[in-house]
């Protein structure tokens, strides 16, 4: 099976802009989660979608949003970008809690 894919891999934006990141999960995985990774804060959970429904959300401002489509593909959107949003954004899909999550390569976002 193909792994989790994320597009784009790299992105440079300026403050105030918005950005949309895309994630395609492993075939058959209905759960997609997003994480933000920074050197200072480590890996922080953004949100999880399961069968098009947001099942859980981390402690991030409302500028961060996401959605999942009927084919399980997911997008996350960050509006009004701030310098502190510069990070590696990781998407992961899962077939079930006991089996863990499988990560994509990430999208590296730089906000100038």
| Whether residue 8 has a cis bond before it, omega within 30° of 0 | yes
14 contacts 82 by C-beta, under 8 angstroms: no
Whole-number Å distance between alpha carbons of 98 and 18: 35
Pick the binder of another protein from 19, 23, 31, 107 (CB under 8 A).
31
- By residue count, the chain amounts to 112
56 binds another protein (CB under 8 A): yes
Output the smallest distance, CB 4 to another protein, in A.
9
Q: Which is nearer to another protein, 79 or 88 (CB)?
A: 88
Nearer to another protein, 25 or 81 (CB): 25
> Does 104 participate in binding another protein (rule CB under 8 A)?
yes
Q: Is 57 in contact with 49 (CB distance < 8 Å)?
A: no
Q: Which residues bind another protein (CB under 8 A)?
A: 31, 33, 35, 42-43, 45, 48, 50, 55-56, 58, 90, 92, 94, 96-106
């Amino acid at each position: 099976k193909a792994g989790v894919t994320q597009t784009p891999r790299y992105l440079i934006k300026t403050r105030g802009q918005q950005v949309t990141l895309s994630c395609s999960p492993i075939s058959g995985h209905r759960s997609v989660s997003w994480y933000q990774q920074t050197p200072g804060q480590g890996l922080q959970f953004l949100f999880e979608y399961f069968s098009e429904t947001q099942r859980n959300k981390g402690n991030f401002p409302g500028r961060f949003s996401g959605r999942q489509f009927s084919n399980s593909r997911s997008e996350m959107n960050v509006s009004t970008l701030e310098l502190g949003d510069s990070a590696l954004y990781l998407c992961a899909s899962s077939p079930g809690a006991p089996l863990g999550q499988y990560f994509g390569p990430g999208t590296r976002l730089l906000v100038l």
